[in-house]
Amino acid sequence: MEKNISFKLKIWRQRGPKEKGQFKVYEMKDIPTDTSFLEMLDILNEQLINAGEEPVVFDHDCREGICGMCSLYINGHPHGPATGATTCQLYMRRFKDGDTITVEPWRSAGFPVIRDLMVDRRAYDKIMQAGGYVSINTGGVPDANAIPISKEKADLAMDAASCIGCGACVAACKNGSAMLFVSAKVSQLALLPQGQVEAARRAKAMLSKMDELGFGNCTNTRACEAECPKCISISNIARLNREFIAAKLSD
Amino acid sequence: MWLIDSSIGRKVVMSVTGAALILFLTFHMAMNCAALFSAEAYNAICEFLGANWYALVGTAGLAVLMVLHFVFAFWLTIQNRKARGNVRYAVSERPKSVEWASQNMLVLGIIVFVGLLVHFANFWSKMQLQELMDTQAIVNGVAVAPTDGAALIEYTFSQWYFVLIYTVWLAALWFHLSHGFWSMFQTIGWSGSKWQRRWQVIGNIYVTLVILGFLSVVYFYFFKSLC
């Protein structure tokens, strides 16, 4: 049921990567609860622009939960209080009249703030470039039925592949570890015969890139899987550990 | 060396040393339980171990495991704090599925270590150390043979504050191990969507039994001293 709510927005403002940021409080009046969280920020920005102030910078693109661009650490949770949903899928009906909503950027050494709520997540691209692919060295596409894959394996690979690379796992982790992301990207290929050819090399290359970029060490707190908008399981982390240890032992 | 250079390798060191320490605790608890039935039986175990070469080798091995577990714990924690960045979240909330212990392993470990120092003062310094130096500890005005562990248990746990300290110590150990047990299987990759839950349940039962074993001796002797 639609109604209007008024609340305070406590938003992190930071002019640049090197500058010191601070929270600024904005009063939001009569926002319909059917508004999405990002639309609400659009409303805020319109008000700021009309008042001659700088709008709040935040990442967004598809606004339907698949591109992985939106981020935002809302009231202590990456992507806000909803489970299995990205920030763009969050609606104001989750909040109450008179609330104070705290909005922060992802905070991690691996994801430095560019401006306000926007962080630099290119570290994930670098990890992918280190080995998150399958090399195709020969001609045509093989027949789809040439390589049988069990339903169970296919499902697990698809579950891992649902990772959108938004970085919520790093944002949620007290260690700033990117293990859930890396493990999903390793698993989606390691589970399938096409990916197994390069599995050992991939696990080693992606993990060492992750370490090199300054992400932390996983301590199995499970905060990542609890906050992941795509509900990626930490069983993928166990698989990555297995792949990596096996690769190192066979070296 | 991948056990030092890679994040998974460093975690494997934590996992394997932790597993070895849990096994040690299991044996220690089993030996303690002998004191529930007979002081002579317990002292026979003390005599069998004492400062014999195999007990000394075992002690040295344990010390190495402990130091590794410790050094890596601090090293990992420092790296992890650095990876978190300089600015902390203003608001953060622990999701329901995240155990409290899992986020406080270092603090719990430090409590366990401090308890260990008390434990060394209570027992090790009066047993193996005395035997090595060929002397006898004076407890409560009387000389106690280094292999008379039962007398030391009786003396230590007749004092309520030691009972309290050991209870807090063992409770911290329970929290530490309740996360550590399944976590070590997760780290070496022997886990998955099914086994993660199984290890967690097995771990909770196993760790509870070990800690109850330790506590039973403490309280048995405490209540015995009251009677």
Q: What is the CATH number of the domain that holds A210?
A: 1.10.1060.10
Say what the pLDDT of residue A142 is.
78
In whole angstroms, what is the distance from residue B103 CA to residue B109 CA? 12
Whether A65 and chain B come into contact, CB under 8 Å, resolves to no
Please enumerate, as own/partner, the contacts of A140-147 that have beta carbons within 8 Å and a separation of 24 or more: A147/A193, A147/A194
Of B9, B11, B96, the CB nearest to A218: B11
The domain boundary residue, chosen from A51, A69, A104: A104
Range of the domain at A215: 122-249
Q: What percent of chain A has pLDDT over 70?
A: 100
Say what the pLDDT of residue A1 is.
63
Q: Is residue A112 part of a domain?
A: no
Whether B84 and chain A come into contact, CB under 8 Å, resolves to yes
A153 and A100, same domain (yes or no): no
Q: Is residue B91 part of a domain?
A: no
Q: Is residue B124 part of a domain?
A: yes
Q: What residues of B are in contact with residue A242 (Cβ under 8 Å)? A: 188-190
- Band the pLDDT of A145: cuts 50, 70, 90: confident
Taking the whole predicted model, whether its pTM rises above 0.90 is answered as yes
Judge whether residue A138 has pLDDT over 80: no
DSSP 8-state secondary structure symbol assigned to residue A234? T
Whether A95 and chain B come into contact, CB under 8 Å, resolves to no
Residue carrying the six token digits 């698809």: A158
Give B65-82 pLDDT, tens digit per residue: 999 999 999 999 999 999
What token pair was written down for B145? 């043979």
Q: What residues of B are in contact with residue A239 (Cβ under 8 Å)? A: 189, 192
Say what the pLDDT of residue A137 is.
75
Please enumerate, as own/partner, the contacts of A154-157 that have beta carbons within 8 Å and a separation of 24 or more: A154/A192, A156/A187, A156/A191, A157/A187, A157/A188, A157/A189, A157/A191, A157/A192
Interface contact A235-B12, CB threshold 8 A: no
User: Is residue A19 packed enough to be buried (19+ CB in 10 Å), middle (13-18) or exposed (0-12)?
Assistant: exposed
The domain boundary residue, chosen from A73, A104, A135: A104
**What residues contact A229, with CB distance under 8 A and at least 6 apart?**
A65, A79, A84, A85, A86, A89, A164, A166, A168
Separation of CA B172 from chain center = 9
What token pair was written down for B86? 């300089």
Interface contact A217-B82, CB threshold 8 A: no
Restricting to B residues 6-45, those with a Cβ less than 8 Å away from any Cβ of A are 6-12
Q: What is the CATH number of the domain that holds B163?
A: 1.20.1300.10
A141 and A221, same domain (yes or no): yes
Report the range of poorest mean pLDDT among A104-113, A134-143, A157-166.
A134-143
| Number of domains chain B is built from | 1
In whole angstroms, what is the distance from residue B90 CA to residue A73 CA? 10
What token pair was written down for A10? 């406590």
Residue B149 near residue B127 (C-beta atoms within 8 A): yes
Interface contact A217-B11, CB threshold 8 A: yes
Strand-by-strand arrangement of the A4-13 sheet: A22-32, A4-13, A100-104, A73-74, A77-78
Residue B222 near residue B157 (C-beta atoms within 8 A): yes
Residue carrying the six token digits 């060191």: B13
Judge whether residue A31 has pLDDT over 90: yes
Q: What residues of B are in contact with residue A155 (Cβ under 8 Å)? A: none
Sign of CA dihedral A66, B89, A218, B173: negative
Q: What residues of B are in contact with residue A174 (Cβ under 8 Å)? A: 80, 84, 103
Q: What is the largest CA-CA distance in chain B?
A: 59
Arithmetic mean of pLDDT over chain B? 95
**What residues contact B50, with CB distance under 8 A and at least 6 apart?**
B127, B128, B131, B146, B147
Report the range of poorest mean pLDDT among A143-147, A247-251, B81-85.
A143-147
Q: Is residue B89 part of a domain?
A: no
Q: What residues of B are in contact with residue A231 (Cβ under 8 Å)? A: none
Range of the domain at B206: 2-81+99-226
Say what the pLDDT of residue B224 is.
94
Q: Is residue B179 part of a domain?
A: yes
| Number of domains chain A is built from | 2
Q: Is residue A111 part of a domain?
A: no
In whole angstroms, what is the distance from residue B175 CA to residue B171 CA? 6
Please provide the DSSP assignment of B72-106 as one string: HHHHHHHHHHHHT-SSPPSS----TTS-TGGG-HH
Q: Is residue B90 part of a domain?
A: no
Whether B190 and chain A come into contact, CB under 8 Å, resolves to yes
